[in-house]
Amino acid sequence: MADLRSSNLASADYSAETQSMTVVFKNGGRYSYADVPEAVYAGLLAAPSPGGYFASTIKDKFSFTKE
């Protein structure tokens, strides 16, 4: 898990084998996103605003399940 500097997101992890990304929110929510390209995960880690990147690039763009 990589820690994120965000007021809303706590951390994220990625599996290249399954192209799945797990995002943990500071409120305790944990979600798995499917079919996420590795470049999207790298973009989240590198973004100056991970929360903004998540909202514009990941949220409502990939299917997810709540863990």
User: What is residue 38's predicted lDDT score, i.e. its pLDDT?
Assistant: 98
Per-residue confidence in pLDDT tens, the chain, 67 aa:
999 999 999 999 999 999 999 999 999 999 999 999 999 999 999 999 999 999 999 999 999 999 9
- Output the pLDDT for position 45: 98
pLDDT of residue 35: 98
pLDDT on residue 33: 98
C-beta of residue 19 within 8 angstroms of C-beta of residue 34? yes
**In angstroms, rounded to a whole number, what is the distance separating the alpha carbons of residues 45 and 36?**
14
35 SS3 class:
coil
